[in-house]
A = this chain, B = another copy of it.
Amino acid sequence: MKKAVVVFSGGVDSVCAVSFLKSKYELYGITFSYGQKANMEISATKSFAKKLGLKQHKIIDIGFMKELYGDSNVLTSSKRKIPSKFEYSIVVPIRNAVFLSVASAWAYTLNASLVVYGAHTGDKYYPDCRPAFAKKLESAFNQGEIDGINSKIRKKIKIWSPYREGLSKSDLLKKGKKVLGDSIFRTWSCYSNKKLHCGVCESCNNRKIAFEKAGVTDKTKYLK
């Protein structure tokens, strides 16, 4: 069976992305702890790794990123507030490049042919979620291993995301609901670090709208 490495945040996007690939790939999950406020994500990944039958699951501490990023964005800053609509302050500079470079290094080691992250068409405001970025990054990584690929020591990788397939968040939810049933409501989307989803941050808002669009009754418990 072909292998895929999945950047696995415990959010609804990456969990549902796995639902799309589960029958075709042997899956290796990689979760990054980078000093984000929402560390509820991390604990969610462990149970979903089991539920989705990942072959291996690594939790990688890159807490040093919090110090490097400082107050450049609201997700790692301890001072700045999280807005309810998209603002560029939410964008963590090339966060996905950091995640995907480590995930791809592992993929070359495992001889996996696919590296996956959960970006979808609703992530259009995030430049490191768009297909143009994924395509260029994939090309750069394969260039960085070109001799190994040409001599068949390594496998060429493709960076796959729902966005590159034209899939929206509600497409992901529909598929995820089929595979996961009600446990889909235990995924974590909120940017804050509270016991329940805050219900007001940009990410909670997107979650609510996507469940509605998917025609799935949203059983997530929100604070507001």
Q: A127 contacts B148, CB within 8 Å?
A: yes
Q: A102 contacts B65, CB within 8 Å?
A: yes
Q: A93 contacts B127, CB within 8 Å?
A: no
The answer to the question of A13 belonging to the interface, with a C-beta cut-off of 8 Å to chain B, is no
Q: How far is the CA of A104 from the CA of B94 in the complex (A)?
A: 8
Q: B102 contacts A127, CB within 8 Å?
A: no
Q: Which of A93-137 contact B (CB under 8 A)?
A: 93-98, 100-102, 104-106, 108-109, 125, 127-128, 130, 132-133, 136-137
Q: How far is the CA of A145 from the CA of B125 in the complex (A)?
A: 11
Residue of B nearest to A61 (CB): B64
Q: B143 contacts A140, CB within 8 Å?
A: no
Q: How far is the CA of A102 from the CA of B139 in the complex (A)?
A: 18
Which residues of B have CB within 8 Å of A105?
65, 68-69, 93-95, 97-98
Q: Per DSSP, are chain A's interface residues mostly helix, strand or loop, or mixed?
A: helix
Q: How large is the interface on A (under 10, 10 to 19, 20 to 34, 35 or more residues)?
A: 35 or more
Which residues of B have CB within 8 Å of A69?
105-106, 109
Chain A, residues 57-96, CB within 8 Å of chain B (1/0): the string is: 0101110110111101000000000000000100101111
Q: Contacts A58-B68, A140-B136, A140-B140 given: A153-B88 contact, CB under 8 Å? A: yes
Contact of A127 (CB < 8 Å), options: B70, B95, B143? B143
Q: Contacts A94-B108, A101-B98 given: A127-B144 contact, CB under 8 Å? A: yes
Contact of A137 (CB < 8 Å), options: B67, B128, B140? B140
Which residues of B have CB within 8 Å of A136?
136, 139-140, 143
Q: Contacts A62-B62, A128-B144, A140-B133 given: A109-B88 contact, CB under 8 Å? A: no
Q: Contacts A98-B101, A104-B97, A133-B143 given: A58-B65 contact, CB under 8 Å? A: no
Q: A127 contacts B98, CB within 8 Å?
A: no
Q: How far is the CA of A93 from the CA of B115 in the complex (A)?
A: 15
A-B residue pairs in contact (CB < 8 Å), sample of 7:
A65-B105, A72-B109, A95-B105, A127-B146, A130-B143, A136-B139, A136-B140
- Additional A-B contacts beyond A58-B64, A88-B153 (10; CB < 8 A): A69-B106, A91-B145, A91-B147, A94-B101, A94-B105, A97-B140, A125-B147, A130-B143, A132-B143, A133-B143
